[in-house]
Structure 1
Amino acid sequence: MAKVQSPDQLPWDPNCTQFPSRKELPKIEGAPNGAAWVWGKDDQLGRLNLLTPQRVKAAAAEILTGEMVRLDLPLNVPETPAFGREQFQHNIKSLIPDIAYDDTYTLNTQSGTQWDGFRHFAHIESKTFYNGTKGTDILGPNANTHACSTHHWATHGIASRGILLDYRHYAKTHSIAYDPYTQHAISYTDLQACAHSQGLDLRPASQGGDIHIGDILVVRSGFVERYNELSPAERRTGALRAHDDLHWAGLKQEDAVLDFLHDAYFAAVVGDSPTFECWPPVERERGYLHESVLALWGMPLGEMWDLEVLAERCRERGRWTFFVTSAPGFIAGGVGSHGNATAIL
């Protein structure tokens, strides 16, 4: 029997089987318009609340062969990160020569395969992060390592059913030519056409579609494929473009995409590009998807995931769903994390 969540009955029950649409979200006192701060005033998990034990158990049914596919790039890839971020550094320390060694990492969690945490990107107009967190909670003399930290994700865990939309393959096989290092906007209509070509229906299961509450949406736009084709010099040049000249393919900033991402009740969204969304936005007045996904809805956002082997295996199987698990770094006050992600087929 369907258990329908009423918009105004706060806090929401993550065990419900139908949830309000983006247009039905309640107006929450003190929150920006469109905020889905609905899981409790002290909530730190956002959409990860949807990963109930029952849903995780159901997602495990996706494991058919047991083949594991790692979804992280090597920690030193990209060799030159974009946006002026630090390069990964690995050093080996000798404890007893020829007997024992340690190693140390210096890592900017946003430089490679990553989760953007709720502290990463605010709702710009209100300068507010998910569930009312402010910049003074993140940095400064009154910082609160509890507020919106990714360590809450680490203690809760991330495991669900993943669903891959291989837009790059769809584009190549349907005469849509683009360079992932350019501002190529992937619309909801594009995602629908890609899904249709894969035999998927992007409607929620409650409407007869293939999307389950708590799924993790994975979109392949082709960044990693293109990165692997470039020479080291070309990779460096692409990453060191001036901030205003950085361009990446990704999801289009449009109401149809926002409605889809919200109303499907994904637990998280993931892409293979450095920005997930088309960068820069094709229509700047519409703002950034990051604002809605992270600050308004509390939905973890993954970027620069290595989807090449996964896409190949999905095409071979003719099956686009799988079990996926990720173990974010466990550090109080975390802004983001490396992915530590694996798909199990």
Structure 2
Amino acid sequence: MPEERRWTIRPEDSTWGDFGPDDQLGRLNLLTPEKVLQAVREVKTGRTFCLSLPLDYPGGTALNPRRKPPRIEPTLRGDKPNMVYPLSRDNPHLLDVICDDTVQMTLQYSTQWDSLAHMGQWFDSSGTGKPEMLFYNGFRAGEEIVGPLDYRVEGAPPTGRASGASKLGIENMAAAGVQGRGVMIDLKRHFGTKRVAVGYRELMEVMEAQQVVVESGDMVCFRTGTDEALLDMAGDPDLSLLEGRFAAFDGRDEKLRRWIVDSNVVALIADNAAVEMLPAAPSASERYPSHPLHDLCLFRLGVYLGELWHLSELADWLHANGRSRFLLTAPPLRLPGAVGSPVTPIASV
């Protein structure tokens, strides 16, 4: 018997149910074997580009006070640090010298993927006038995506359940594989490093000037130059300088949102911290999402967001060679229950 869906009414412009009532992949379903083969045919030279910043970048907590840099420490062998540890300490006949370490890190500190469990919304999916805290395809807060406190109930005690996403976790993305055609749109080459809210009109202007075509199933990358600025700041980002520069999407631009809906893109990827410009433009609604592009992509469409990617070197090479398309391989960590993941993407040209 087919599974029953968890909702009666789905959000406007959503793909809820389009890939099945229990789907956890969203538009990642569009990365079909045919799309992978199409992407492989973009490889002409065999050259590769690493699209990850060093994972200790941007540095500090200026970009997000809740996200801290990784801390690497040795594992322990008894009570001794297991780093440059000669096994001859334990057995004089042994020649080996061992290094073994552990890391404590915020999963979305640096180059990252947002999973579909990263951001949900209050939404009335039952049509009863009682909104619930929901995520993509109607998965529920407090049931499939759980925190240590149940914020649905004022003053609720700790849930006593392990935090995490039993549905929509990043491991689904990893298991499905993330390999397909990447398409580069170079906002920096068109606008420079000035602060520009990119709506549909600006996006079409850039795509026409750069002769970029985006098709169903593509993963679209947007170079703004933020990655170069972060690298130049050498782990000590100047937030005042970053906030006054660089292009980013206007998530409330209705024509831009319609383009994302109609284009059937799988992912939007940028070298900045959120893909969209924050704070967002004012909303005319009484209640509204603070991150309108996250709402559209993660909550409604199942479109993945990649943030803080290192795109500039690839963008410059593609421009110099009259190209905009490449093979993109970018699986996240297969870490069950996580709502985001660091990623070391590889572009093959």
Quick check: TM above 0.5?
yes
Bigger fraction of residues in helix: 1
Moved more, 47-56 or 79-88: 79-88
Q: CA offsets per residue over residues 113-148 of structure 1, 9 Å max, x none?
A: 010111111124553110112221222446674311
1:194 matched to 2:206: yes
C-alpha displacement at 1:318, in angstroms? 1.1
SS of residue in 1 equivalent to 2:167: coil
Q: Is the 8 A contact 2:269 2:275 kept in 1?
A: yes
Bigger fraction of residues in strand: 2
User: Hey, what's the Cα distance between the residues in 2 that align with 1:232 and 1:144?
Assistant: 30
Moved more, 30-39 or 312-321: 30-39
In structure 2, list runs of 5 or more residues that go unmatched: 76-81, 87-95, 124-131, 147-158
Q: How many residue pairs get matched?
A: 298
User: Hey, what's the Cα distance between the residues in 2 that align with 1:170 and 1:334?
Assistant: 36
1:152 matched to 2:172: yes
| Matched-pair identity in % | 28
- State the match for 2:40 in structure 1: 60
TM-score scaled to structure 2, two decimals?
0.79
Q: CA offsets per residue over residues 243-283 of structure 1, 9 Å max, x none?
A: xx999741112111111111111111111110100111123
What CA RMSD, in Å, does the superposition of the two structures yield over aligned residues?
2.5
1:290 matched to 2:294: yes
Which structure's CA Rg is the greater one? 2
- State the match for 1:107 in structure 2: 105
- State the match for 1:222 in structure 2: 225
For 1:322-341, list aligned pairs within 5 A: 322-341=326-345
User: Hey, what's the Cα distance between the residues in 1 that align with 2:230 and 2:272?
Assistant: 10
- State the match for 1:258 in structure 2: 257
TM-score scaled to structure 1, two decimals?
0.80
User: Hey, what's the Cα distance between the residues in 2 that align with 1:90 and 1:55?
Assistant: 38
Q: 2:109 corresponds to which letter in structure 1?
A: S
Q: CA offsets per residue over residues 22-73 of structure 1, 9 Å max, x none?
A: xxxxxx7242333211111110100000011121112110000010101111
User: Hey, what's the Cα distance between the residues in 2 that align with 1:34 and 1:249?
Assistant: 25
C-alpha displacement at 1:231, in angstroms? 6.4
User: Hey, what's the Cα distance between the residues in 1 that align with 2:12 and 2:315?
Assistant: 37
SS of residue in 2 equivalent to 1:127: strand
**1:152 to 1:195, Cα distance in 2 relative to 1, 3 A:** same
1:128 matched to 2:134: yes
**1:169 to 1:103, Cα distance in 2 relative to 1, 3 A:** same
Q: Is the 8 A contact 2:166 2:337 kept in 1?
A: yes
Q: 1:339 corresponds to which letter in structure 2?
A: V
The ranges of structure 1 where at least 4 consecutive aligned residues each deviate by more than 6 angstroms after the TM superposition are 245-248
